[in-house]
Amino acid sequence: MKRLNNQVAIVTGAGRGIGKAIASHYAREGAKVVIAELDESLGKKLEGELTSSGAEALFIKTDVSKLADIEALTQATQQYFGSIDVLVNNAGVTKSLGFFEVSEDDWDWIHGVTSKGLFFCMQSVARVMKAQGHGRIVNIASIAGKGYPSTSNISYAGAKGAVIAMTRIAASTLASDNINVNAICPGVTRTELYYEVVKGKIKTLGKSEAEIIEMFDGTIPIKRSNEPEDIADLAVFLASNEARNVTGQSWNVDGGLVCD
């Protein structure tokens, strides 16, 4: 039997990278997937891919930095599928910035999506889950939130640290409503952003892509960076009944970079 059979799951930022991998894994495990994505072309493309494979999927254009969009997402999901069993808060933004380069606009942009948007998604969907008497929330944090120094910038690290803290408080608050809340903290992961960084290093260091990737992987104890699927595998477990007694935890998937 599929582990998420007939579960209704919202995945924010599902158009690419980790979010797309999670949405695809959930669909394969029998979930009805809501693709909450700001980029309409990416969202519709994934919706088509999932439905053509036989899954039930719905794209809803969503900017999680806007509370009106979050409420519209929750209401539309309920109206279309009748329930919300799983929420994956994956949407997040960042860019490479030095300590003295972070501006107020950068701070507001990063926190508006990565921490503020995540909280209000939790709040909105948890109201539905509370009424249902059950639910699973999976927040995508980062080892940056645990102080990993090779982060994209300090504001992003702070936002992801907030995600970890909110995961713990939400888990405690919502436990009596049978709502499990956990976080996944990816390390170096081969997403589109990762390859953009690789391209930059190719130009500055004059090395090949393979050499740059080998250099990056060399800093990881297990000598292997994540594929998005590595995060998706854990996200399936945390959404499934196998994790019914797991809540308030922040799981590192990083090849041993951070032991916390």
The residues that are catalytic are: 156
Of 233, 216, 135, 118, give the one whose Cα is nearest residue 177. Answer: 135
By residue count, the chain amounts to 260
Q: How many CB atoms lie within 10 A of CB 101?
A: 11
Parallel, antiparallel, or unpaired: how do β-strands 179-186 and 135-140 relate? parallel
**CA atoms of 208 and 204, how far apart (whole Å):** 11
Q: Are 185 and 142 in contact (CB under 8 A)?
A: yes
CA 103 to chain centre: 25
DSSP 53: T
